[in-house]
Structure formats: structure tokens, C-alpha cells
Amino acid sequence: MSAEESRARLRLDAALDHLAVTFAGLTARPDENNCVCHWGAAEELALLKVADTELEPDLLRRTWQAPDWRDHASVLRRILPQFARSLVAGCAGPWYAEAGWSFARGRWEQWPAAQAGAVREFLHAWWARTLIDPRPVVPVPDVLVLATGASAAVAPWLGVWETLTGPPADGHLAALVERWEWELIGDQLPWNSRDDNEEEIRTGLTSWLVRNAPARLRAHGAPAELLNRIRLLGLDGAARWEDPGWDGRPF
């Protein structure tokens, strides 16, 4: 492990520890409730009103996924230390966009400064650790989707990526372009979003890729076809479809 990776790992470990300290002793509201049929049993609900008790994985997932808590912020604060560790461990399965929505529903950026700062540092530490990890537990696109959903903004995360160049960050960039190229060429956001500024996020991501990806992908040894996709992203409207480099494949 390189010195940079070691520093990033220590930063993430510290951020997770800080979440545990910051949110220790917190519980859901005494009057919190949810549907027994669609969420869980009364004894499971009672666990949310007991501080610092670990939830079994399925209950944890159902809790952060549920969209209809009376006070989602309090529920999120109750589970946040365990929730964050499960995210880093890759336990959110295919639901990283939904995990971002859970943060957003909790309106964490409006919490007291110490709490909001702990969440912000966790997200940034996890993102930085992912970018410089050659084989991250959670792929870079999934962490980016979560962080963007949690903050309703893509620019801060792309700004961090812009400062990290060379392997493995450029390899992750190539993998992201390969995964998302067709949706972006079709002027679609590559993931389901509940943000009112979805179009702003899409155009911001596209513009960033057009500015930053070509040189980095060339240095990484990306194939000419992938570089051509990035070039096409920089064209608007009919210019894209009429370009000689457009091969007419459906997206």
C-alpha cells in the first residue's frame, strides 16, 4: 500500500470513528412509527429508540430505505455510524442511489455544525479513499452517485477527482466513461435521481468529462473509440449525430 493510500485509509477510519462519537447516544423520537406490514415489527421499531444498539443487516437496510418516517433526520442520526460502516463495506448492494436519497431526506446539511461536519468529512474521506484505491470495495461510479444524491451536487466530488491524477484515479475515470458513455451521449443522467437540479448535474458531469477526461484517458492508454465518445459529448444537438465519428449505434 502506498503512503497516499495509507493516509487516505487513516482519514476514512478517523471519519468513521468521529461519526460514532458524534452520534453516540442518539435515538429515534419516542413517538416514531412505521407500518408493520411494509417496514417491520414493533420490537424492531423499539430498537430504534434504544441508543447504540447494532441492528441486523436487513433491519438496517429497511430503516435507511424507508421513505416515510415521521422524523427521518432523527432515524438517520440513530443509525448513522453503523450505516456509514455498512456503506464502506459494500453492503448497500445495488442501492447506492437510494442511500444517497436517505442522506438527502435527512437534510443533514441543516443539522448542527458538528453533526453536519462529521457527515461531510465522512463523505469526502470515503470518496478520496475510493479514488486512490486500485480495487475499491465500492466502485467509483457508485460512490459518486451516493455522494451526489446526498449533497444534490456533483461539482464538489468532481473537484476532488480533478486534484487526483495518475493511476489508479485515471483508471477509475476510464471505467466510469465506459459505464456511462451511452446515457451521457443520449443526454441522460446515468442513474435515477430525485434531485430538482438533475439537468444541472448531468450537464456539469458532461462538461467536466469533456474538459478533463481526454488527456487523462490518453495517458492511461484508453482506446481511440472511448476518446471519440468523449469528443462527441462536447458536441451539441445535430452536430453530434451528424459528426463523421458517430457510428449510429443506439444508446
pLDDT of residue 251: 44
pTM: 0.95
pLDDT of residue 37: 82
pLDDT in tens, 164-219: 999 999 999 999 999 999 999 999 999 988 878 999 999 999 999 999 999 999 99
Residue reference for cell 417491520: 40
Can you list the residues of the chain whose pLDDT is less than 70? 248-251
pLDDT of residue 248: 67
pLDDT of residue 187: 93
Residue 111 in contact with residue 95, Cβ under 8 Å? Answer: no
Number of alpha carbons in the 13 Å side-chain half-sphere of residue 111: 22
**Spatial distance between the Cα atoms of 193 and 152, rounded to a whole number of angstroms:** 9
Indicate the average pLDDT of the chain: 94
| Helical axes 57-65 vs 72-88, angle rounded to 10° | 130
pLDDT of residue 249: 61
